[in-house]
Amino acid sequence: MSSMEILNVITSMLGGLALFLFGMETLSGSLTKMTGGALKGFIGAITKNRFTAFVFGAVLTAIVQSSSAITVLSVGLVNSGIIELSKASGLLIGANLGTTATAWVLSLNGIDGESLIMTLIKPSTFSPFLAIIGVALMMFAKADKKKNIGTVLLGFSVMMIGMNLMSQGVAPLKAIPAVQNMLVSFSNPVLGFLFACVFALIIQSSDAVIGIVQAFALSMGITYGMAFPLICGAQVGTCITALMSSLGASNNGKRTAVMNLYYNLLKTIPVMLVFYLLNYLIGFSGLEKEVGAIGIPAVHTMVNIIGCLIWLPCSKVIVALANKTIPLSEEEKMEKANVLTMLDESFLQDVSFAIEQSDTAVKQLLNTVGDAFNSIVEKDLEKFNQVPVLCERAEKYKEQIDAYLSKLSGETMENNERASVNMLIRVSTALGRSTNIARRLHNVYVSYRESDGQIREDDIRELKVVGKSIYEVMQLTYLEYEKRTVTIAETILFYREEITALSAIAKQHYVQRAHENSGSGYDDSLYTDVCYIQEQMLDYCDMIADSLIRYAKETGTYKEISEQDRNQKRQQIHEIFADKYEELS
């Protein structure tokens, strides 16, 4: 080749590559921009699990024409807490499958045929027309949306023109033995894989690398043996884009990028190992065959379909590897435990479902408050030390529930739905005050220990009897809430009478012991404070019970029990407490 021919090849290659990369970046960026700020919220709503996330990731990537863009978006979504890491795994796997659409579109340029129809469906034929339309929209349209559409059309056209320019530019290289020898070296799976990996790492796009391979395939006679390791290596090398985007992100954002790397490694390397092992054992006759226009997207798709079939059901393994690489810190574990993930704002459009989610959140708050109070009552030191953590968690739960219910209250809803929301608000308020009681009770015990006050085993035993009795009433009230019945609500006064009587006996015994052991460090204020604070828990059980009655009346399901049934229930409750009176005797 003459110097002029070599220069023409170089300029065509570099110019085509520049146009191809610019067109791909413009197309991807414009499509992402067109979705607006609603995209993140939409993804959060549609990715209920890793399978729906997978489908959405595949479709979105096929539209945007860039797996790197969706991978970077996934890092941002996880970093901002919009989706969980487990859901991001499905999104990433889908994005890797969706990116094969780019290769299929590019393969249309290699279609052979002399008919007008076959010529018209080639991107090289219709791209100039799309480019003119795109430029016209960008120059003359006033609306930003139309301008963005013009940018999308122009980006696609430039990408196709760049592809054609590269194909035409490299055609003369086919006659040069040195170039042929270099291409043959790619048949070595290790060399081919590493070359594509490094090249994709440099230009940060597997689609671009595969597009270049397609350009060579159309002009240089690339074989299946050369193309296979190049395609696999490109998919691993492009992971650098997500890794770089995660540098300033939270640990969860970094885990998303690492998870993408692990998936591509686990997707490509085992497939290559199995493929070349079988080739060694039985020999594949088609490896020397030219891959052609359709072969590259077919191989690309095959590798990704195999990866999806294996790793989508086992995506927890990839998540676990990412968590192992970047372990959860204690702060992250605490933060994760304090977040009610079911309260997603995207659910507010479906009022009935949002109410169900709020109810689930309130039940979680119920259990947390109950655990905090029980940890105090049990007098187990390890559990006792966890009370501040449980109280803080309950307070954060209440803040999230109140904020969510406030937004939900602004939605249009039926009367029964409104009654449910009002009940949830009242129950959340009662539980918030119960949390304060648990914290106060914990603080009283801590203060007493720090002041070296004395408390005897009999004191602890009797406080525990009273406390456990209150906890049982709390549990019954919580159960009533879950069932939406009013049995406890109608008779909670009788429980209060029994608890008050138990508490009075315990106080009387304490005074007697204090009198008998005068000057032995007894502190009357301790017992009085503990008993008083414990009994206050009944006030908030009463609030929950009253909320249930109001809800039943507002929804027309309230049935008042007869006086006879009420008296019978009172006697049953007194008999239930007989054993507790005996414990204090």
Which DSSP string corresponds to 375-406? HHHT--HHHHHTHHHHHHHHHHHHHHHHHHHH
Please name which of 62, 57, 102, 58 lies closest in space to residue 77, comparing C-alpha atoms: 57
Q: What is d(CA 305, CA 123) in angstroms, rounded to the nearest whole number?
A: 26
Q: Which residue is listed with tokens 């809803």?
A: 413
290: DSSP letter: B
Q: Which residues of the chain have pLDDT under 50?
A: 36-38
Pick the closest to residue 208 from 102, 72, 70 (CA basis): 102
Give the pLDDT of residue 42: 59
* Residue pointed to by tokens 């009172």: 570
Rounded Cα–Cα distance for residues 32 and 518 (Å): 79
What pLDDT was estimated at residue 452? Answer: 57
DSSP, res 186: T
d(CA 456, CA 436): 27
Last residue of a domain, one of 278, 296, 325: 325
SS3 113: coil
Within a domain: 535: yes
pLDDT at position 36: 45
In a domain, 22, yes or no: yes
Same domain as 406, residue 311: no
Judgement on whether residues 436 and 496 belong to the same structural domain of the protein: yes
Q: Is 455 left (phi over 0), alpha (psi -120 to 50) or beta?
A: beta
Output the CA–CA distances (angstroms, integers) from residue 463 to 252, 326, 373, 428, in the order listed: 45, 46, 13, 28
Spatial separation of the C-alpha atoms in residues 222 and 215, rounded to whole Å: 10
| Cα–Cα distance measured from residue 145 to residue 156, given in angstroms and rounded to the nearest whole number | 17
- CA 264, CA 391: separation in Å to the nearest integer? 43
354 domain residue, yes or no: yes
Residue carrying the six token digits 């007098």:
379
Are 69 and 22 within one domain?
Answer: yes
pLDDT tens-digit series, residues 39-88: 555 565 666 677 888 888 888 777 765 666 666 667 666 765 667 777 78
| Residue 331 forms part of a structural domain | no
- Token pair for residue 219? 């002009």
- Here the tokens at position 562 are 């007869």
Question: Which position has the token pair 């977040």?
Answer: 339
Predicted structure pTM score: 0.54
pLDDT score, position 362:
92
Q: What pLDDT, on the 0 to 100 scale, is given for residue 168?
A: 63
Evaluate whether residue 349 is within a structural domain.
yes
Number of domains observed in the structure of the chain: 2
Same domain membership, residue 354 and residue 284: no
In a domain, 388, yes or no: yes
pLDDT for res 430: 92
Q: How many CB atoms lie within 10 A of CB 487?
A: 16
What sections of 36-84 are H helices per DSSP? 38-46, 50-64, 67-79
Dist. CA 566–CA 81, nearest whole Å: 50
Output the domain CATH number for residue 424.
1.20.58.220
Residues 381 and 270 in one domain: no
Instruction: Report if residue 335 sits inside a domain.
Output: no
If asked whether residues 289 and 357 sit together in one domain, one would say no
Task: Answer yes or no: do 315 and 377 share one domain.
Answer: no
Same domain, yes or no, for 92 and 214? yes
517 assigned to some structural domain: yes
**pLDDT tens for residues 380-392?**
778 888 889 899 9
Please tell me whether residues 351 and 309 are part of one structural domain: no
Do 151 and 25 belong to one domain? yes
Asked if 59 and 189 sit in the same domain, the reply is yes
Q: The domain containing residue 222 runs over which residues?
A: 3-325
Residues 99 and 22 occupy one common structural domain: yes
